Chains A and B, each alone.
Chain A
Amino acid sequence: MTSLATRPPSTAAPRRAKPRRSGRTGSNLGLTAKYLVLLAFTAFSLVPLAWMVSSAFKAPQDVLEVPVRWIPKQWHPENFVKALMEPRFTGHTFLEFLINSTIVATVTALASVVLSIMVGYGFAKFRFRGREAFMWTLLGSTLLPFSSVVIPLYLVIDSLALTDTLAGLIIPFVITGQAVFVARQFIRAIPTAYIEAARIDGASEWVIFRRIIVPLTGPAVTTVAVMSFLFSWNQFLWPLVITSSQEGFTAPLGLSMLGMGSTFNTDYSVWMAASTIAIIPPLVFFLILERPYLRGLEAMAGIK
């Protein structure tokens, strides 16, 4: 259990390439059943998303057509331009909200990488009184449902005059217990002997951090970055609570307003085009960095 997430994934290689000969029919039946389970579950996972993408290309009146048509009768790629460019929400466009989201999520991810590596190193390689207690309190506090601390956090952000700013969307999340914990799990795998050798050679603590630790934290960096980016991009309750002027809207906030109040819009194909656009950045990020992301989840669950 002390071996760490940086272990190459090859350890999970198939244990046996071929099924045993005895009881082959039974086991083939089992395998077929397993494929059916997977097929059913992935259909459940993907059907809503496939429907979203296909509707994004349809004419508005065709979105709720019976029976469901998966390939649009006529293609309307201009829905995407409409979704992005058409001014709504007191003159602002969805494109502006996407830019806000990009800034917020990118800055959160970058800051979170730097700070988590620093703090994670402190927790992983130094002994001091109260270390364990603080580490686990930090982790426990950020496993809390966000909605249970949203009012207290609002009170503080309000008194710091950070409501309705992009900074207010970023600052509270540049350090999270999860990111620190994941960074710590990775950094613990770096042999302590390197650090001790450098100390004996007279290197300062900062030099040790910059020259020895940071270059060896590659996997931790990508993992923390992808987790923070996804977390930040998909946040909804917090921007809803602190953002009042539409200049500062993030993409999810803009999306949620599509079906509401003065901006009410029942052009469902535009809804779906906007939704499709909003899920592309996190999806692309995830598909490229799937392995680091999964490693982060595994580190979270304390596996390896």
Chain B
Amino acid sequence: MLRNRELRAALIFISPAILFFLVFWAAPVLLALYYSFTDWQVGQTETWAGLANYTKLLSDPQFHTAVLASMSIVLIVMAVSLVLALGVAIVLADPRIQAGRLWRVSVIVPVVTDWVATGLVFQLFFLPNQGVLASFGQSLGIDALNSVRWTTDAGLAPWAIAIFVIWKQTGLYAIFFLAGLKGIPGDIIEASKVDGANAWQTFWRIRWPMMTPLTVFVVVLSFVTTLGLFEPVYLLTGGGPAGATRTLPLFLFENFFTFGNSGYASAAGIYFLLLSLMFTFTASRILKDRDES
């Protein structure tokens, strides 16, 4: 009897989550799935189109460019920000560092500020000739920085976006790594030192292996987060020049909301969703394993 009462209570407590999951997750995805099989354009009734959208996407050069643009930004951001984050975390984990809280707060401040407000700042940093970076360059005697067209050169634009994203997100990953490092029991480190291990060995033989699950989590998280970023691209280049930085989120947004190719955009969205799902479920799987151990 008690079991029954408990079960009913449990259902009531989690019912908001069930409702939410159905209305704001399952229903939308099913709806988008349906539209992805139609030729729906804004303002017209849709007719069934089967797999047409999906096959068309695979041969659409704009879609290819979008995938490539997304991937190149993701790779730059991950390579730089994860290394930086790990470095900063190792430094912050050193108990001899004074004023730890002050450093920690400064490291994480970009994470809590707004994309748009800071995006305006980076717009002005990247202006050619009169921008802030150009002006730093002049002060340092590097005149070459003056004429760099950060956001309008097809080769540089992904880097400009990546720099902004690295600035904004590295602190978050550093905090994750720091928490991981601090979670390692002090006596293990102590014991390794007694056994004569130097700092280098302690890191690679003890800290790093113990942090592996967390590292995988951070890698996956940074991958999906960066892949899904809309704001930095929209604010710095708007997808330009000539579509060179039109990433997946921007491709979806433009096709759906600007051009009204709703069925087509829905299909692209389903590809994007499947790609992201593969990675997020890896991440939540890792969390689950950690949770159970």
Contact = CB atoms under 8 A, between A and B. Distances in A.
Contacts of B94: 31, 34
Contacts of B285: 136
B235 A256 contact: yes
6 contacts: A41-B88, A49-B109, A66-B139, A148-B228, A153-B24, A298-B176
Nearest to A238: B230
A136 B277 CA distance: 12
Interface stretch (A73-81, A84-92, A215-223, A228-236): A228-236
Contacts of A146: 228
A272 B91 contact: no
Nearest to B18: A134
- What are the 5 closest A-B residue pairs judged by CB atoms, nearest first? A145-B228, A122-B13, A152-B28, A126-B10, A147-B249
Interface stretch (B55-63, B129-137, B154-162, B201-209): B129-137
A67 B139 contact: yes
Interface in A11-34: 12, 14-17, 19, 30-31, 34
A46 interface: yes
A209 B293 contact: no
Interface in A111-128: 115, 118-119, 121-123, 126-128
A38 B115 CA distance: 24
Report, as a range, how many residues of chain A touch the other chain: 35 or more
Given A145-B227, A156-B28, A297 B284 contact: no
A283 B293 contact: no
Contacts of A52: 117-118, 121
A42 B280 contact: no
A66 to B, nearest CB: 4
B10 to A, nearest CB: 3
B69 interface: no
A275 B120 contact: yes
A110 interface: no
A14 B117 contact: no
Contacts of B32: 151-152, 155
B139 A48 contact: no
B293 A151 contact: no
Contact of A64 (B13, B122, B127, B170): B127
A194 interface: no
Interface string A202-218: 00011001000000000
Interface residues of B, number: 118
Contacts, number: 310
Contacts of A286: 108-109, 112
B236 to A, nearest CB: 11
A268 B127 CA distance: 12
A147 B103 contact: no
B123 A259 contact: yes
Interface string A283-304: 1001100100110011001111
Given A30-B199, A34-B97, A283-B113, A271 B120 contact: yes
Contact of A144 (B112, B113, B234, B280): B280
Contacts of A145: 224-225, 227-229, 249, 276
B241 to A, nearest CB: 17
A277 B166 CA distance: 23
B195 to A, nearest CB: 14
Given A48-B121, A49-B109, A68 B136 contact: yes
Contacts of A151: 32, 252, 256, 262, 265-266, 269
Contact of A175 (B16, B28, B31, B131): B16
Nearest to B95: A14
B272 A140 contact: no
Contact of B112 (A127, A237, A282): A282
Contacts of A290: 101, 104-105
A136 B280 CA distance: 10
A138 B14 CA distance: 11
Contact of A51 (B7, B132, B138): B132
B283 A143 contact: yes
Nearest to B2: A199
A147 B130 contact: no
A41 B108 CA distance: 11
A300 to B, nearest CB: 8
A209 B13 CA distance: 10
A128 B107 CA distance: 42
Most chain-A Cβ atoms within 10 A of its Cβ — which of B138, B179, B221?
B179
Nearest to A290: B105
A238 B122 CA distance: 22
B135 A1 contact: no
A255 B283 contact: no
A293 B135 CA distance: 37
A183 to B, nearest CB: 11
B277 A144 contact: yes
Given A126-B13, A298-B179, A301-B214, A275 B288 contact: no
A293 B172 CA distance: 11
Given A122-B14, A172-B24, A209-B13, A236 B116 contact: yes
A1 B122 CA distance: 41
B122 A38 contact: no
B17 A48 contact: no
